[in-house]
């Protein structure tokens, strides 16, 4: 079986802890401005995390409509609160939505979500999520028939994923590079890429 990259996931317990720490600092340093908006944010964050988990389960069941609706609802809850945050949970919602849109065959919507993810992580040191989004953009471009664009995205993803030791994303990107070569009739290079994908996937213990 060809390697399939595991979905990028964020540790929800760590997210909650990090945001609680931020809120403690917020209340301590500036109690005068710690009002109901903070409580609203915490409630919205909790609801968004639950929606993200629900979307994950729906995706596993291939119920992509429900998954997309849940992710869009989660994004709406956090809009305006964390767009400039160093937290990777908010941009990861766009990455997950992009994956779902690919599965739905909604290529432009997938691209919009993944590009939004990249823009959000530009100001934080989150190269793993950036690599994942680039790899997904490569897959999406391949689906659209934009092979040169797909190759560019995938090579960038491999470069980043190699730097941060993300074997799953490396394998995923090599798999799609192999698909590009096969589609262009370069079967020798396609085989090389696919074997590379399988070898990396074995190291990552991917199925």
Tens digits of residue pLDDT in 136-179:
999 999 999 999 999 999 999 999 999 989 999 999 999 999 99
Instruction: Specify whether the CB–CB gap between 161 and 142 falls below 8 A.
Output: no
Q: Between 206 and 105, whose confidence is greater?
A: 105
What are the residues whose beta carbons fall under 8 Å from the beta carbon of 171, sequence distance 6 or more?
3, 5, 197, 198, 200, 201, 204, 206
**Which comes out higher in pLDDT, residue 181 or 206?**
181
Q: Where are the alpha helices (DSSP H) in 85-166?
A: 89-104, 107-121, 127-144, 147-163
The pLDDT of 86-114, averaged and rounded, is 93
Nearest to 114 by CA among 127, 96, 89: 96
What length is written for the chain?
207
pLDDT of residue 207: 52
pTM recorded for the entire structure: 0.80
Question: Which region among 2-11, 22-31, 62-71, 120-129 has the lowest average model confidence (pLDDT)?
Answer: 22-31
Report pLDDT digits (tens) over 48-95. Answer: 999 999 999 999 999 999 999 999 999 999 987 765 566 789 999 999
Residue identified by tokens 């096969």 is 182
Sequence-separated (6 or more) residues with CB below 8 Å from residue 179: 142, 190
pLDDT band (50, 70, 90) for residue 27: very low
Checking if the pLDDT of 10 tops 90, the result is no
Q: At what angle do helices 167-183 and 147-163 cross, to 10 degrees?
A: 160
The span from the CA of 73 to the CA of 47, in Å, is: 9
* Stronger pLDDT, 120 or 86, i.e. the higher one: 120
């Amino acid at each position: 079986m060809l390697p399939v990259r595991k979905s990028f996931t964020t540790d929800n317990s760590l997210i909650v802890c990090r945001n609680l720490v931020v809120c403690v600092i917020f209340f301590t340093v500036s109690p005068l401005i710690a009002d109901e908006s903070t409580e609203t944010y915490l409630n919205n964050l909790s609801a968004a995390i639950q929606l993200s988990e629900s979307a994950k389960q729906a995706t596993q069941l291939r119920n992509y409509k429900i998954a997309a609706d849940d992710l869009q609802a989660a994004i709406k809850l956090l809009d305006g609160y964390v767009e400039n945050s160093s937290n990777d949970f908010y941009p990861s919602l766009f990455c997950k939505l992009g994956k779902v849109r690919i599965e739905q065959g909604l290529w432009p919507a997938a691209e919009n979500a993944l590009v939004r993810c990249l823009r959000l992580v530009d100001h934080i040191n989150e190269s793993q999520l950036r690599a994942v989004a680039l790899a997904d953009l490569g897959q999406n471009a391949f689906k659209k028939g934009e092979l040169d664009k797909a190759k560019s995205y995938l090579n960038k993803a491999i470069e980043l994923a190699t730097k941060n030791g993300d074997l799953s994303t490396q394998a995923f990107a090599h798999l799609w590079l192999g698909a590009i070569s096969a589609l262009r009739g370069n079967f020798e290079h396609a085989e090389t890429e696919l074997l590379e994908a399988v070898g990396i996937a074995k190291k990552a213990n991917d199925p």
